[in-house]
Structures are given as C-alpha cells and as structure tokens.
Structure 1
C-alpha cells in the first residue's frame, strides 16, 4: 500500500484536492476531522484538556472558540495543547492505515495540514503539496467567516513557509489555475505512482527521512525523473 502525504498551507486548496482523491475512490484520512472528533462530546481529548485548561469544556465537549482564544499568542499553552491532541490524532491515523492495509487498498492518502511541521512526512512514500499564489491564498482565507488579518498572520507564523513545503514535495499541485487543472494534476500523480513499491507500510518499515531535496516536479526522484505532475 502506497501512503501519500497531502499537505498545503492554509487557503492553498488542500481540502479541495482531498475531496478529489475521494471522488477517485481513494481512502483519505482527514486530520482536521480527527481533531473535531477527539475534541467533541465524548472525545478522548476532552478530559485532559479540561484538566489543562479549566473552563474550556462545555456540555461534555471542548469549546473550540474558547480554546483558540486561550492559546492564541501563547506558545507555552499551544505546546501543551499539541502535546495532548497530537498523540490522540496519531492513534486515529494508525487505525486508518491498518484498516486500509486490511482492505488491501493500493493507495491511501493522509491529509495533514502540519505534515512537515510535526514530521509525519516520514510515514509517507510520496509527498504532495497543494499551492497557490500568495494573493489567492490571502483572498480565500480572509473571506472565511470570523477570519482577520491578525489571525491569518498568526496561523502562517506557525506553518512552514510554502516555498519550503514545495521544496520538500515530490509533486506540487497548483490550485490557482482552476478545478479542472487541479484534478488533471492529481489524476496524473495517482497514475504515475500506481506501480510504485511501498516503503512506508507496514509500520516497522517507517524510517526517518533525514534529507528532502526533491524538486517540485520530482525531477530528482529516480522513479519520476522523466515525469512532471
């Protein structure tokens, strides 16, 4: 089973790409959805967050807005929160991969916004980054309800720069050229990696990647040296 890591900074179109993979019939793990589950009523993060941040839990679920305000601009509080949430979300990710392997699916996608930042790229055979020009990114994000320039800048400050993500990727998918072009790129990527030999599953095969030097179109990858996404 090939494990494809899908990432991209806020407003780059990663969620759209994820939905396109699903329409192709590819199983997709949604990291954001997992966070919602563990923070929701009965979620595994509720009790530890209640202990770490008193007053944040309302009616058995984490008040996400209140939690966001509590950790906004406070690096220590944010790290405390991440230390609670990330392992729980990682467990759900493990379960997803095990289910996919049991079904013998040829390709599974991990949709993770902070794929590189929390070093989950080491779990993936192929790394795909969705990108768009900064002006398009800003327009998309600032159009969201409740979003401000200050919040946007704070989010960007916590994320790896888009240029660095693109440098680390095997394939870069531009989302600023329309849905049809995005779908064409993703379809081509799925076709190119179809016969690739998996190296990241089962888990005992995971080995930390110490260097990423592949170009956005994977020119430096032996398997894809003559292909472009």
Structure 2
C-alpha cells in the first residue's frame, strides 16, 4: 500500500481534489476532519486542549476560532497545541490504515494541509500539490464567511509558499483551469501511481502540461 501525500495552501482546491481521488476508489484520510472530531463534544483533545488553553472550550467542545486567536502568531503556543493534537491524529490515522489495508487498497491519500511544514512529506511515497493562480486563490478565500484580508495574510505567513511546494512536489494538480481539467490530471496521477513499481515514485509518468509535474 503506497502512501500519497495531498497538500496545498489555503484556497487552492485541495478538498475538491481529494474527492476526485475518492472517485477512483482511493481511500482518503482527511487530517482536518480528524481534528474537527477530536475538538468536538466527547473528542479526545477537548480535555488536554482546555487545560493548556483555558477558556477555549465552550459547551463541551473546543471553539476553533478562540483557539486560533490564542495560537496565531505565537510559535510556542502552536508548538504546545501540536504536541497535544499530533499524537491523537496519529492514533486515528493508524485505524484508517488498518481499514484500508483490510479492504485491499493499493493506494491511500493523506490529505494534510501542512505536510511540508511539518516534515511529513519524508514518509510519503509521493506528494501531490494542489495549486491555482494567486489571484484566484485570494478571491476564493476572501469569499469565505468571516474571512478578512488580514486573516488571510496571517494564514499564508504560516504556510510554505506555493512556488516552493510546487517545486518539491512529485505531481501538481492545477485547479485554476476548471474541474474537468483537474479531474483529468487526477486520473493521470492515479494511473501513473498504480502502474509504478511498489515504493518507487513514477517520475515523468504524467505530462507536465496537464499539471502533473515529475518529481525531483
């Protein structure tokens, strides 16, 4: 079973791309969704996060906006939070792996927003980066309820630049040219990965002009 990392900066269309992998029968692990569950009522992170950041638990669940305000721009606070959440996500991910393996999956996709920033790419067999033009990215994000230009810029400051992600990726899915174009790129990537020998990244298997860039 080969591990495929799926990542991309905010507003690039990563969730939509993840759904396209599912259309090909590839199980997708959504790290953000796992964290949402951990923060929800009864979630394993509620207690320890509440102790580390008093006041962020409201109604038995972690208020993500309050927590965001506590850690944004504070590397030490973010480090404390990650020390709580990452091991819990790791446990949840092991269950996902076991289920996928039991079903005979040949590929699994790990949808991880900060894959490069956390060094998680080192554990992947290949990494797919989702990208779009900066203007389109900004328009998408600022259309979200409650989003402001300052908040968007603060989020971008915590993420690796899109150009660097693209340079380090084995494949790039360009969502700036419509869903059909992106879906065709995903189909090419899935085929290339399934045709490749185990534990070997299929360099050059999908054409650059279709947005799937060979690895480095």
TM-score normalised over the length of structure 2: 0.91
Measured in 1, the distance between the counterparts of 2:205 and 2:71 equals 46
Measured in 1, the distance between the counterparts of 2:18 and 2:205 equals 26
Measured in 2, the distance between the counterparts of 1:34 and 1:8 equals 18
Q: Secondary structure at the match of 2:29?
A: strand
Measured in 1, the distance between the counterparts of 2:160 and 2:88 equals 22
Measured in 1, the distance between the counterparts of 2:199 and 2:162 equals 26
Partner of 1:216: none
Shift of 1:99: 1.7
Whether the 8 Å CA contact 1:125–1:198 is kept in 2: the answer is no
Matched pairs, number: 208
Partner of 1:121: 121
Partner of 2:148: 148
Q: Secondary structure at the match of 1:193?
A: helix
Shift of 1:226: 5.7
Whether the 8 Å CA contact 2:188–2:206 is kept in 1: the answer is no
Partner of 2:176: 176
Structure 2 matches for 1:48-127, cutoff 5 A?
48-127=48-127
Structure 2 gaps, min length 5: none
**How large is the RMSD of aligned CA atoms in angstroms?**
1.5
Measured in 1, the distance between the counterparts of 2:22 and 2:87 equals 25
Closer, same or farther in 2 for the Cα pair 1:226/1:122, shift >3 Å? closer
Partner of 1:9: 9
Whether the 8 Å CA contact 1:9–1:113 is kept in 2: the answer is yes
Partner of 1:203: none
Measured in 1, the distance between the counterparts of 2:34 and 2:81 equals 15
Measured in 2, the distance between the counterparts of 1:225 and 1:20 equals 21
Measured in 2, the distance between the counterparts of 1:195 and 1:106 equals 11
Measured in 2, the distance between the counterparts of 1:74 and 1:128 equals 29
